[in-house]
Structure 1
């Protein structure tokens, strides 16, 4: 299947539960978990505890129904607003938020966060705290000027975008347009934290190969600077294993603030 015929996340969707099972479950490949589970938790813990990023509102745009990266934000923000492009991912997330039967199990991620943070909290306490500060889960329409129309969101102190922009962008120009669109939701001086996979062309969910725009660290840095950001932190971790699920050379975390 060539890249032109691959499905695109926000246009075609995917099986939200299978995505979680593949990439972030406690049954997922442990080496893979170094990049998809440990890397975001480790870097966000470092960014929040060592930096000055805090406030009232954090907006999260992330791929699928992942929430494990948000445990690190619990101590630094009063409200989290989660934005999703897919009804299936919203239903998956709300099943966990409402503690319904059959909800995806995130205890392994909560335990990992507690270990990395070195706190005395119990994993279930972390889960309940995160649930309490996720105030809204809102569907967005990327074609609209106000993506959440008719809802008008408050300006965010911080935006986290984990792997999403690469999955919804058809090429690098489209990536920059989407980056610009999302960053409009920031307050002046607000912070943007991006996670991405470098040199990727596809990722797999079930039997489907989905499109992911190819870019490298240099492109991402130039894109942020071009949109008026100052980069405060950057960490790249090279992959250490091969997988048929996704082709990438490394994962990246970049934190930046508006001039």
Structure 2
């Protein structure tokens, strides 16, 4: 597939609400529950329960307006700072935080978390805690040296990046460049948690196709090690469904820490 024919997530208009409906909703025709909801949620819970990833500040740099990966982090960080490239994503997220009419329904994600923890009775409590935590949403530009300019963020104890690096990188050199900029937000010894899709080339929103960088597990491991990280945990999950919305083959979850 000619990547020049595809749109770029961070450059072209992208319907953030439809992205949620296609890939992260509880709609009957949403087929990615195992791949894009359960697999990450299970690994986030497993990783945070170990107890060594915690601190004052968590920074999230993830695609679209997703929040389902943040539930497990609440009890381990005092502050969560969400960075978004697009105004539409920020507005969609704020609509949910403010419980406005027509906001995307994330109850199914809260239920998945509660079920995994064996605490199904805490669904509403979890949603309230996430809403309270998401008060710091900042726009960023990945092309700037300080991506949050003119704001200087305090050093983070942990960064989460889910499905964003592959969406904004036109090639592997771009991927390394953006990863380096993201990781500069970490304090020495900080942790980087990464979720991505392997061996994909595109994703669809409506009939529009957006570019996804093709890479494999060996590549992303090499980037982490090359930038001074030690990989603490890695899990790779084979795609379970066939859909022409997206063509990835695996989902990968990696937790790593930056050497001091």
Q: How high is the TM-score relative to the length of structure 2?
A: 0.97
Which ranges in structure 1 are unaligned for 5 or more consecutive residues?
none
Q: Give 2:220's aligned residue.
A: 220
- Aligned partners of 1:4, 1:120: CA distance in 2, in Å? 46
Displacement of 1:119 in angstroms is 2.6
1:27-176 alignment to 2 at 5 Å? 27=27, 29=29, 31-119=31-119, 121-176=121-176
Query: What SS does the corresponding residue of 1:237 show, helix, strand or coil?
Result: strand
Displacement of 1:117 in angstroms is 1.6
Deviations along 1:7-28, whole A, 9 cap, x unmatched? 1111113101100000000015
Q: Structure 1 residues 13 and 28 mapped into 2: Cα distance closer, same or farther (>3 Å)?
A: farther
User: After alignment, is 60-69 or 135-144 more displaced?
Assistant: 135-144
- Aligned partners of 2:18, 2:28: CA distance in 1, in Å? 11
- Aligned partners of 2:237, 2:3: CA distance in 1, in Å? 25
- Aligned partners of 2:39, 2:5: CA distance in 1, in Å? 31
User: After alignment, is 197-206 or 26-35 more displaced?
Assistant: 26-35
Is 1:61–1:161's contact at 8 Å kept on the other side of the alignment? yes
Deviations along 1:142-167, whole A, 9 cap, x unmatched? 22111111111111000000000000
Deviations along 1:203-256, whole A, 9 cap, x unmatched? 111111000000000001001000000000000000122110100110000000
Query: What SS does the corresponding residue of 1:122 show, helix, strand or coil?
Result: helix
Which ranges in structure 2 are unaligned for 5 or more consecutive residues?
none
Deviations along 1:173-228, whole A, 9 cap, x unmatched? 11011100000000100000000000000011111100000000000100100000
The answer to whether structure 1 residue 211 and structure 2 residue 211 are counterparts is yes
Q: How many residues were matched structurally? A: 259
Q: How high is the TM-score relative to the length of structure 1?
A: 0.97
Q: Give 2:241's aligned residue.
A: 241
Runs of 4+ in 1 over 4 A off after TM superposition: 28-31
The answer to whether structure 1 residue 257 and structure 2 residue 260 are counterparts is no
- Aligned partners of 1:195, 1:20: CA distance in 2, in Å? 16
- Aligned partners of 2:188, 2:249: CA distance in 1, in Å? 34
Q: Structure 1 residues 15 and 31 mapped into 2: Cα distance closer, same or farther (>3 Å)?
A: closer
